[in-house]
Chain A
Amino acid sequence: MAMIWDVDLRHRFPGSTHSFELDMQFRSNRRRLVLFGPSGAGKSLALKMIAGLMTPSAGHVRLDGDALFDSIQGVNLSPQRRGLGYVFQHYALFPHLTVSQNIAFGLHRGLVNPRRSVHLDTVSRWIKVLHLENVANQYPEELSGGQRQRTALARVLVTEPRALLLDEPFAALDRPLRRRLREELNELLSRLDIPLLLITHDEDDVLTLADAVIRVDGGRAGEEFDPANLSA
C-alpha cells in the first residue's frame, strides 16, 4: 500500500561562508505528521519544496503514491496543480481583500478578484465553522492573531486540499493565545479527514497535535517516533 508521505529531497544551497545541504528522506503513513527541529534545520525549505514553491535538484515527493515531483521521471507539478493547502507562518493573507474575499480567492477563477459582496455556500460554511461571521467584511490588518490564523485555514480548506501543510502555525502569536488556538486547531483537525504535515520548533505543538514526529536537524531527517517519547 502506498504511503501517505514519501519524501526525498536533495539540494545544495551555496553560501559565501558555508553552504547548506538539504538531504532529507522520510516516509510516513500517519495522519498527523510533525517535522520537529530548531530554526535553520531546513524544515521550511522542505515544506516549500513539497508544495512546489521551490524545486530540489534531486529526489521525489509522493503523496498517497502519486508523484508530485520526481527528478528521475522528470515529474514536477506546479504548485497550482499539487492541490495542497499551505498555511504560511505569517499567514500571508491578501491585505487588499476582506476575510470573505480571502477565503473565496482560491475558488474564484479569472483575472479579477471576488467582489466584496461575494457569496458562495462553501465560503459561508467555512466562515461559520471557523467563527469568522463577525469579521467577514473586515481586512486582515483589522483582525486579531487568532482570527488571521482561522482565515488562513479557511482560505485553504475551502479549496478541498489533498493535504494540509502548516508552517509554524503559532509562531506569529502571543504565548497566552497559543495554547487556546492549539486546542482549537486540534479540535478542527479531528473533524477533518485530511493528512496534516506540520513543521515546528515548539514541543507543545508536537505534544498536542502530532500522531508521529520526525526530528529534523542540519537538513536531515531522523526516524519517525511517537510524540510521547519526545523528551526521551
Chain B
Amino acid sequence: MEQAWIPLALTLKVAGWATLITMVLGVALGYLLARTRFPGRDLLDAVLTLPMVLPPTVIGYYLLVLVGRNGPVGEWLLGAFGIHLIFTWQGAVLAAAIVALPLTFKSARAAFELVDPQYEQAARVLGIGEVAIFFRVTLPLAWRGILAGVLLSFARAAGEFGATLMVAGSIPGKTQTLSIAVYEAVQAGQDDLANFLVLITSLTCIAVLLAAGKLVPGRVPERS
C-alpha cells in the first residue's frame, strides 16, 4: 500500500495550504459582509457563494481561463514572478481554496453577526482602537463558529476532485491527490488500492466532521 501514502501526504499538504488561504480570506470577507454596508454587498456574497453551487468542472474551467498561460492572471503571474500554476500542486491549492472558500466565509459571517456590537462599543469607550478591538473582542467571540467552518472547508478541500483535475491534472506524486488517486485506481482495476484509499479518505473526513461537530454549537456570549 506504499502507493497510498504519497497521495495522502499530498492531499494533506494541498488541503492544509488551501485551508490556510481560505481562513485568512474567509475571515476578512465574513467580517466585511457582517459589519459593513456597501453597494453590491449582496452581489459579492452571491459571487463568493458560487463555488458551492457550480459544478467543480465549471470552476476548473474558469480557473483555466483565468490563470492558464494565456489567461489575464496567468500571464501576469508568469511575467512578474515566473509562477506557473497549471499542472502544479500550487494549482491544486488554488482550486481547492476557491471551492472551500464559501464554507469558511459563510460561517465567519454568521459567527461575526452573532457577536453583540455592544462588546465592541464597550471596548471603544475604553479607548481601544478598531484594529485591536477586532483581535481582542470580535475575533475571540466569533472564533468557535469560524473554526467550525474552517474544519469543514478543510474536509471539502481534501475531497476536491473536479476543479483540481481540470487545473492540476493527475500527475502521480505531484498533483495526484487522494480523490484523484481513487478514480485512477478504479479505472485501472486496482481494487485493493482503491479500497484502501477510500478507507483512509473516509476516516480522515469522519475525524474532521467530529471535530467540527464539537465546535458548531459554540458558546454564544450571553448579554447580561
| Residues of A in contact with B (beta carbons under 8 Å apart) | 51-53, 78-86, 88, 90-92, 94-96, 105-106, 109-113, 141, 148, 155-156, 159, 172
Q: Which of B116, B136, B141, B222 has the most CB of A within 10 A?
A: B136
A48 (CB) vs chain B CBs: closest residue? B121
CB <8 Å contact, A106 and B128: yes
Q: A95 and B224: CB pair below 8 A? A: no
User: Beyond A90-B224, A96-B141, is A111–B125 a contact (Cβ under 8 Å)?
Assistant: no
Given the complex of chains A and B, what is the CA–CA distance between A214 and B135 in angstroms? 40
Question: In the complex, are the beta carbons of B121 and A53 less than 8 A apart?
Answer: yes
Instruction: Choose one: A88, A94, A110; the contact of B137 (CB below 8 Å).
Output: A94
> Complex formed: what's the CA distance from A94 to B119 in Å?
7
Docked Cα-Cα span, A105 to B223, in Å, equals 18
Give A193 to B222 CA distance when docked, in angstroms. Answer: 33
Subset of 7 A-B contacts with CB under 8 Å: A79-B121, A80-B124, A80-B125, A86-B122, A90-B118, A96-B140, A111-B131
In the complex, the answer to whether B222 meets A95 with C-beta atoms within 8 Å is yes
Q: Which residues of B contact A105 (CB under 8 A)?
A: 123, 126, 128, 136
- Complex Cα distance, B128 from A81, in Å, reads 9
**A51 adjacent to B125 (CB under 8 Å):** yes
Closest Cβ of chain B: how far from A150's Cβ, in Å?
15
Task: Say whether A84 contacts B123, CB under 8 Å.
Answer: no
Which 3 pairs show the lowest CB-CB distances between chains A and B?
A: A106-B126, A95-B221, A92-B122
Residues of A within 8 A of B119 (CB): 92, 94-95
Q: Name the interface residues of B109-141: CB closer than 8 Å to any CB of A.
A: 116, 118-119, 121-129, 131-132, 135-137, 140-141
Instruction: Please state if B127 and A159 are interface contacts (CB–CB under 8 Å).
Output: yes
